[in-house]
């Protein structure tokens, strides 16, 4: 378990890197296949395991469309 739950939509989504700039690209290709991968960041409201709600910056990968 992550220790938090994302509440609602992601806001202020920005691309941090595309295919060549992603360190985990070889693993992503091996596991999910080739394509134009993107590393993104966004702001989201999250609920922590203690029940409190905070805004946090979330990082993740977006698979090829």
Task: Give the pLDDT score at 57.
Answer: 97
Q: How confident is the model over 31-57, as pLDDT tens digits? A: 999 988 999 999 999 999 999 999 999
Alpha-carbon span 47 to 10, nearest angstrom: 14
Count: domains in the chain: 1
- Structural domain span for residue 28: 4-62
Interval 3-23 mean pLDDT: 92
Residue where the block lists tokens 């977006």: 62
- Provide the pLDDT for residue 63: 83
Instruction: Tell me which residue of 37, 45, 29, 27 sits closest to 61, measured CA to CA.
Output: 37
Buried b (16+ CB within 10 A) or exposed e, 35-64: eebbbeebebebeeeeeeeeeeebeeeeee
Nearest CA to 15 among 33, 40, 32?
40
pLDDT at 62: 87
């Amino acid at each position: 378990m992550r220790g938090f739950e994302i509440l609602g939509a992601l806001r202020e989504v920005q691309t941090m890197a595309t295919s060549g700039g992603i360190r985990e690209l070889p693993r992503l290709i091996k596991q999910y296949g080739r394509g134009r991968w993107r590393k993104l960041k966004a702001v989201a409201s999250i609920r922590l395991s203690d029940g409190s709600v905070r805004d946090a910056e979330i990082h993740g990968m977006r698979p090829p469309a």
